[in-house]
Amino acid sequence: MEQRILIIDEEFLALLEQHTTEEKEQLRKNIKADGRVIDPIVLWEGHDIIVDGMTRYSIALEEGVPFTTIDLPFADRASVKEWIFAHQVGRRNGDGLSRARWRAMLVEAKAAKLEPVRGSKTEAVRQVADANGMSERQVWRDTAVAEVLNSLPRAVKTNIDHGRISASVESIMRLNELPETQKSQVLDVLENLPPGLGDDLAFRSVDEVIEAVREHQEEQPVTESENKTLEKEMARFERMIQDTPGRIDTIARIKKWHRLPWKERVQVAFANFVAIWREQCGK
């Protein structure tokens, strides 16, 4: 067994999408079944720093199985980052959104190395487009998607990154183009997903949330009489939800609704209603 002690660099680790618990356990099962780590761990030559294979290395140490390494030369840390991004883009795994994000990060890494050359980002986009056999327009769109993702609240990004709700390039751009009133409601739902995964969630994708908000947030003139009726119905509905403990978040969160205008409370209540309905119908 290889006895070489390797280094997991925190900055490089933070660049990578972390494995879910299920993915890590499946990788562990595969390594144990093989009795070794099949894919070599890639290192920064002369530094013993891992640039690819951090999870495999950790599992190998935990399970006491052998692994092999490959040393690659890099001029500096910026060159390592560029390699990491390019390597991730080249992998076949990952959805369209993940690939778009990696291409955008690769553009930023190349542009940083080209600075202060005028038009460095444009040149970086051209290089990434040529290397991946795609149009520069598509790569520019990737950079726009990455900017939108980076602007989202941390909890929303975490829920998307961890696969708690599915998202695509199109849904992220669609979210960004919503009117502010609708966008804020969509983000509220995405930021406050109840505990659970998959079928336990009221919504399975960003597109579903957007459609629900657009359908139930139509701006209609409301008379004073209608407004009072809606307020009364909302109060009754919220009491019904309070009587279903365990199906939604804490009562404290429900109480926050009363500080919101009734139209916003309708959307929050609707999301929880869908969750309860799916549970009762076995969806």
Check residue 235 and give its pLDDT: 75
* DSSP category for residue 101: H
Q: Quick check: 28 and 63 in contact, CB under 8 A?
A: yes
Classify domain 10-72 by CATH number: 3.90.1530
pLDDT of residue 205: 87
Neighbours of 129 (CB within 10 A): 19
| Strand 41-44 to 49-52 pairing | antiparallel
- Per-residue pLDDT, 1: 44
Closest C-alpha among 45, 39, 44, 40 to residue 9:
44
Q: Report the amino acid identity of residue 57.
A: Y
Low-confidence ranges of the chain (pLDDT < 70): 1-3, 91-95, 195-202, 217-223, 226-227, 238, 240-283
Q: pLDDT tens for residues 54-87?
A: 999 999 999 999 999 999 999 999 899 989 988 8
pTM: 0.61
Non-local (6+) Cβ contacts of 118 within 8 A are none
pLDDT of residue 89: 81
Q: Name the one residue in this structure whose structure tokens are 């609240």.
A: 153
> Is the separation of the CB atoms in 55 and 87 below 8 Å?
no
Distance CA(110)–CA(92), nearest Å, equals 22
Helices (H) and strands (E) in the chain, counts: 14, 3
Predicted pLDDT at 278:
62
SS3 label, residue 243: coil
Residue with tokens 């369209």: 96
List the one residue out of 107, 128, 178 whose CA is nearest residue 148. 178
Given the structure tokens 């144990």, which residue do they identify?
32
Domain ranges of the chain: 10-72, 77-151, 179-281
